[in-house]
Amino acid sequence: MRSAPTILHLDMDAFFASVEQASKPSLRGKAVVVGGLGPRGVVATASYEARVFGVHSAMPMAQARRRAPNAAYLVPRFALYRSISEQVMGLLRALSPLVEPLSLDEAFVDLEAGGAAWDERSARLAGAKLRADIRAVTGLTGSVGLAASKMLAKIASEQAKPDGLVLIEPGTERALLGPLPVRTLPGVGPATGDHLRRAGIHTVDELAEAGEDELVRLLGKAHGHALFAMALARDERPVVAERETKSVSVEDTYDVDIHDRVRVGTEVRRLADRCVRRLREAGLSGRTIVLKVRRYDFSTLTRSETLRGPTDDPAVVREAAARLLDSVDTTGGVRLLGVGVSGLADYTQEDLFAQAAGVPADDLPHEEAEAAPAPEQETPAERRWPAGHDVRHAVYGHGWVQGSGLGRVTARFETPDSEPGRVKTFRVDDPALQPADPLPLVSRRPGEDEGAGAGGGTRAESR
């Protein structure tokens, strides 16, 4: 483990919910919950105002609604979240070539590898500047942890939440870790935590006192050795630069089980087309097609087929997914479907049309992936206006959907830079109301007001 706190862990604060609050002035300071809004939906992110009511990620949406009935419940806008994540990751890569993203809103950075920090003072300055830059570029806040190891940096960023910076000084690690619960350590989930608790081990100090031999006896060789080392604040894991994407996949969970085999087939074809679009956007192709089916009883089946070479052709992927579906019994209903492509490459093999059973290349153009669904499969009107998504009205301008149903859609018209806006209701087929792209959260150029980004509402601590 290094002698200076030059490993940084960034965790954006309530990322999805914070993006929604930043883009919607009427929701700032209010409880916001982002996730699937159907009967089987789960919470993706809850704002800090919603967490006061006990709402948290991975909670069933129905339970969240009972706990916070007056919160704003929104459908995720993943394209917007990805674009903002790319801005944040760009700031991290300006600090160091060694950036290890863990998700859209979380990453490790080796500051020493980029020459951005070499001791406690320079690390603190780098962390403070990063937070100010993130605020200036995105309008959002992130919490930063600085330490001599990845484990401790992540613990520090958790202690810094929300909107803070915590640096763990080398030499203080054991004293900091000792009283913390064992669940604080990486790799200690609910099952391991329960196992340790039954053995009378509740804190990291008690984990260290148990000794390596006892932990190996309780947890097995690999897990026991690793946890004992972490209990002594030993973590030699390096920051690993972003790994190549190993697969591209899409999936949908349905509010009501699908029993019609024809409808299941239609959904699989639609998912295959979406998957191919993602492949092409990433400039990739793949040779292994994967089908995922979760049935009515929660049993999950996966089937895969490997082609002779990589492809990004929708006809090939659709036909392969259909063949895989033929081997799956969907009697009783389907609650989730997914299509994925793995074995990725950055080139395609043109003659793979031959693998799409009986479909000549000239008879099925690439553009078919973008074709509109057949009328009988048209999405219900309410599903075309997801809560929280952007709209534009010919008279009232930019806004977002507050809700829809019974042939009506209600929108609030405001922008990230405006005051809270007015609410209007329209017919779902009103030609003056159209879906729109999100607006930038920050209209000023990066760097114009960086001083404000470093100002009030922040805090810095040392450990």
CB neighbourhood size of 236 (10 A): 9
Global pTM?
0.73
pLDDT at residue 375 is higher than 80: no
For residue 311, the cross-strand partners are 286
Contact 344, 248 (CB under 8 A): yes
Number of residues assigned to the chain = 463
- For residue 445, what pLDDT band results from cuts at 50, 70 and 90? low
Segment 12-36, tens digit of pLDDT = 999 999 999 999 999 999 999 999 8
459-462 and 408-413 as β-strands: parallel, antiparallel, unpaired? unpaired
Annotated binding site for Mg(2+): 11, 105
User: CATH code for 247-377?
Assistant: 3.30.1490.100
Q: How confident is the model at residue 121 (pLDDT cuts 50, 70, 90)?
A: very high
Cα(421)–Cα(17) distance, rounded to whole angstroms? 19
Domain parsing of the chain, residue ranges: 175-231, 247-377
Residue 191's pLDDT is what?
80
Amino acid at 199: A
Instruction: State the Cα–Cα distance between residues 453 and 350, nearest whole angstrom.
Output: 51
CATH class of segment(s) 175-231:
mainly alpha
Query: What does the pLDDT read at residue 347?
Result: 55
Q: Tokens 């830059």 appear where?
A: 133
pLDDT digits (tens, 9 = 90+) for 149-181: 999 999 999 999 999 999 999 999 999 999 999
Bridge pairing between strands 164-167 and 142-147: parallel
- The 3 state secondary structure assigned to 246-302 is CEEEEEEEEEEEECCHHHHHHHHHHHHHHHHHHHHHCCCEEEEEEEEEEECCCCEEE
| 272, two tokens | 């295959």
Q: What is the pLDDT of residue 345?
A: 76
Q: Cα(254)–Cα(263) distance, rounded to whole angstroms?
A: 12
Q: Read off the pLDDT of residues 220-259 as tens digits, 9 standing for 90 and up.
A: 888 888 889 999 999 888 998 866 667 899 998 887 889 9
Catalytic residues, by residue number, are 106
Give the torsion sign (CA, 60, 66, 68, 70).
Answer: positive
Task: Pick out the residues of the known binding site.
Answer: 11, 105
